[in-house]
Amino acid sequence: MATPRFICADWAPDNTACQKAGNFACKNCLLVGYCGPTCQRSHWASHKADCKSNLRKETWQPNWALENRRPAFVGPGQQFGGKKYLWGNMPAFDVLNLESNEGVDYDGQLNLLFAASGDLRNLVKTIAQLPASYSGTLDVTLNDLELDIVVRNAIMLLVAFIVDNTDDAVDCIIHVWYSARIRTSHLEILQQRIRPLVQEVCDKTREKDPRSVWERTWTFGQNSLRLVLAQSAWNRFLSYLDVPPGLDAEKANRIRRAVTLAESRQDYRDRHFLFHSPSHRMAKYRFWEDGLLLPFGSRRDEFAVPNPTLFQTPDAWPLFDNADPLNGWLLKDIYATSSGAATADVYGKMFYHVRGMLESFLRRLSGLTAKFQLLQVNALELPEYLELDKSFSRIEVANIADCGYVGPHRTVALMARLLQEPAVNPHATLITLFMNAVDENMTHQDRIADATQDSRSSKALLKYIRPTGPLTMTGNYNPAVVKFSFARDLVTSYGRYFDRFMKEFMFAELGEIVGAAMKDRHTVIEKWPYRLRLSPGQPGAQEEFDRALGGGPSSKERYVEWKRVYHVRRRRLLCCEACYSGLALAESRTCTCEQREMVTL
C-alpha cells in the first residue's frame, strides 16, 4: 500500500491550491495541515470560523442545558429522515479469518454467501485481508432485498473491474459509496463505462414481463460478475446512473441539510457531541454540513455533482439524519490510521483507512480467480436461486436472525444446510448477529438494578467518568447525567440476558434438529467483539473507553457462530407438519395450530 501524501490545506475555489505536503498542523485544532507558516496565515481567514467555533470549546454545552429545558430525546425514541440503510451500521470484519481456520497456506476454493449483505464493507475487508499466498478461486454470492443496496454494490464492483487506474477506481468507489456529491469524472465513469452494460440488458428485455427475471454475466479477465434482477429492476438500475432532472449541487445540499441539520433535531445532535472531543465535534458537524467523506482540509469545490446512487428523487435524502460512515468500520482501526499532521481529523482518518482497504482489495482481486453473483431476493428464498447442491465455506447473515426479522429458528434452519459438510470443510461457519436480543430480554427490574448507584456497572463507570457534581436528573437535565447514562452500556455485562434468550428460544434443541451446533470457540469473530478489553487503570484503558463512548457499536451486540455436524440426533418433536416445513421450529416457540401430529425428524 502506497503511503498517502497529505496535501497542504491552503486552497480556495478562486485560486490555485498549494500542492506541497501538509506536514505541520494547526496546533489549536489539529484538523488541518500546512506546508508552513505562509500557507497557514494565508488560509486563516477561511479556517478561523472552524478553529474558533463554539463546538471546539472545552466549555461547550448542549442547547437544552443552556436553555434549562427538557431535551427532545427524553421519551419515546424517534427516527428522522429517510428510511434507507445504505451504509453499514456495524464494523466490517473478515468473514474468513483463514489464519484461525483453514490456515494461511490454504489454497482451495472458497465459497462465500452474504445472505443479507448490506453494503460491501465485509466483502472488501475479507478479500483485502486474504493472505498474500492465497491464489485459489473465490466464489462470492451477495444478496439483499433492497434494490438500492444491490445496485450500488454492483456499480462499485463494476468500477473496480472496469477502471484500470487504481487511484481513479478507489477515488470513484469511495465517493459513490459515502459522499453526497461526486466529481464530474465519477459521473462520467457511471454514464460512459457502466451505463452501456446495463442499457444492453434493458434493450433486450424491453418487451418482457416486468416481473420476469433476467441475468447478465460480465467477464473481466479471470474475474466475472453475474447480476440477476427482475426486468423492472434492470430498468430502475439506469436511474442510479443519472442525476434526477432539476437537481443540482446547491439544491441537493439544501435537501440533505434539511435532514442532517434539521432544527428539530438539535438536541439529538448535541447528544452526539456530548460524547466527542472538541475537534471530533467539529469534524462531525462538517460531515453533517457537506456530506463529503474527505480529510477536513481537502478542497470541496470539485464535488459539484449530486451522487445519483443516493439521490433517487429530486426532493429527498434517503438516509436517517444520524447515518454515519464511521459506524461501518472499527473505530480502533480508524484511529490507528495516519492522517498526517492533522491527528484529530477522524473523518480524514476514515478516508485514508477505507482508501487503503480498497487499494488492498483491488490488488488482491488482480491475483485471484473470482466469481461474483449479486441477487435481490428475500433471504428465505435464496436456495431457489442458488446452484443445485451448492454449499459455502462461510455464510454471513447480518442480523436477520433477530426476532424482528427472520428470527433465529428459520435463519439457522435455512442457512445451516447450505454450509459445506464437515468432511469437505470442518471450518465452514454460519455467522449470526443479534443486535436486539439483549434489549428484548431485559426486564424493567433488570434495567433498574443495573442503573442503581451501587450497581456493578455504576461503580465501574465511575472509574472512567468522574462527575464534577451530583448525578441527579434535575433542573436543566444535567449533561453529565445523560453522558453517564449512555456510557453505562460500555461497562455492563450482558451475558446473562443473552443466555436467557438462548434458553427461551431453545438454541441447543434447535441445533440438534437442523444438524448444526453452536461453536464452543469462535474462530471468525468474537462473541462479544465490542466489549472493553482493558481494565480501568491499565495503560490505554481510558483511551479505549473514550473511543468507544464516541461512537461505534454497542457492547450488547452478540455474534453466534454455527457449524454443521455430521449426524442429526433422531428425535420426536411435537409440532405440526406445516410449521416444521421449511421453518424447523415454530417461531412462536409453541405450535398453536389446531391440527397437531408427531413428526419424526
* pLDDT, tens only, 158-197: 999 999 999 999 999 999 999 999 999 999 999 999 999 9
* Residue given cell 505562509 in the structure block: 38
Single residue among 20, 37, 52 that ends a domain in this structure: 52
Cell numbers linked to 566 = 455430521
Cell numbers linked to 160 = 473496480
Of the chain, the end-to-end C-alpha distance in Å amounts to 53
Q: Do residue 150 and residue 214 come from a single domain?
A: yes
Helix residue spans in 328-423 (DSSP H): 331-335, 346-365, 382-385, 408-416
Single residue among 434, 454, 484 that ends a domain in this structure: 434
Which range scores top for mean pLDDT: 108-117, 443-452, 577-586? 108-117
Residue 571 predicted with pLDDT over 70: no
For range 14-19, the mean pLDDT:
73
Q: Do residue 110 and residue 183 come from a single domain?
A: yes
| Maximum separation of any 2 CA atoms in the chain, in Å | 85
Decide if 312 is inside a domain: no
- Look up residue 83 and give its amino acid: K
Residue 118, sorted as left (phi over 0), alpha (psi -120 to 50) or beta, turns out to be left
For 32, the domain range is: 1-52
Are the C-beta atoms of 182 and 175 separated by less than 8 Å? yes
pLDDT at 486 (0 to 100): 87
* Whole-number Cα distances in Å, 509 to 311, 464, 534, 572: 47, 41, 35, 11
- Look up residue 358 and give its amino acid: L
pLDDT at 600 (0 to 100): 33
pLDDT at 510 (0 to 100): 85
Task: Please write the tens of the pLDDT for every residue from 453-503.
Answer: 778 888 888 889 876 555 554 555 888 888 888 888 899 999 999 999 999
Are the C-beta atoms of 534 and 460 separated by less than 8 Å? no
Split at pLDDT 50, 70, 90, the class of 451 is confident
Are the C-beta atoms of 144 and 118 separated by less than 8 Å? yes
Q: What are phi and psi of 596, to 5 degrees?
A: -120, 155
Distance CA 343, CA 339 (A): 6
Cell numbers linked to 40 = 497557514
Distance CA 238, CA 7 (A): 36
* Whole-number Cα distances in Å, 331 to 92, 128, 195, 443: 10, 18, 36, 31
Q: Do residue 33 and residue 173 come from a single domain?
A: no
Residue 552 predicted with pLDDT over 90: no
Decide if 563 is inside a domain: no
Q: Do residue 129 and residue 33 come from a single domain?
A: no
Task: Please write the tens of the pLDDT for every residue from 296-332.
Answer: 999 999 999 999 999 999 999 999 999 999 999 999 9
Residue 587 predicted with pLDDT over 70: no
* Whole-number Cα distances in Å, 268 to 72, 272, 367, 489, 490: 7, 7, 46, 18, 20
Q: What are phi and psi of 92, to 5 degrees?
A: -60, 145
Residue partners of 218: CB distance under 8 A and separation at least 6: 158, 161, 197, 224, 225, 226
Cell numbers linked to 379 = 433471504
Q: Do residue 38 and residue 165 come from a single domain?
A: no
Q: Do residue 110 and residue 221 come from a single domain?
A: yes
Split at pLDDT 50, 70, 90, the class of 79 is confident
Q: Do residue 34 and residue 104 come from a single domain?
A: no
Decide if 111 is inside a domain: yes
For 236-268, the DSSP string reads HHGGGGSPPTT--HHHHHHHHHHHHT-GGGHHH
Decide if 513 is inside a domain: no
Number of domains forming the structure of the chain:
3
**Cβ-count burial 468-499 (b if 16+ within 10 Å, e if not):** eeebeeeebbbbbbbbbeebbbbbbebeebbe
Q: Do residue 209 and residue 105 come from a single domain?
A: yes
Q: Do residue 108 and residue 197 come from a single domain?
A: yes
Are the C-beta atoms of 112 and 138 separated by less than 8 Å? yes
Residue 576 predicted with pLDDT over 50: no
Are the C-beta atoms of 136 and 109 separated by less than 8 Å? yes
Split at pLDDT 50, 70, 90, the class of 425 is very high
SS3 state at 111: strand
* Whole-number Cα distances in Å, 16 to 4, 20, 298, 462, 567: 21, 12, 13, 52, 70
Residue 126 predicted with pLDDT over 60: yes
SS3 state at 44: helix
pLDDT at 583 (0 to 100): 41
Q: Do residue 235 and residue 368 come from a single domain?
A: yes
454 or 271, which is more confident: 271
> ∠ CA 35-167-119 to the nearest 5 degrees?
110
Decide if 585 is inside a domain: yes
- Residue 337 has, within 13 A of its CA and on its CB side, a CA count of 25
Decide if 212 is inside a domain: yes
Q: Do residue 116 and residue 211 come from a single domain?
A: yes
Residue 569 predicted with pLDDT over 60: no
Q: Do residue 223 and residue 148 come from a single domain?
A: yes
pLDDT at 53 (0 to 100): 96
Cβ atoms < 10 Å from Cβ of 217: 12
pLDDT at 570 (0 to 100): 43
Decide if 327 is inside a domain: no
Decide if 503 is inside a domain: no
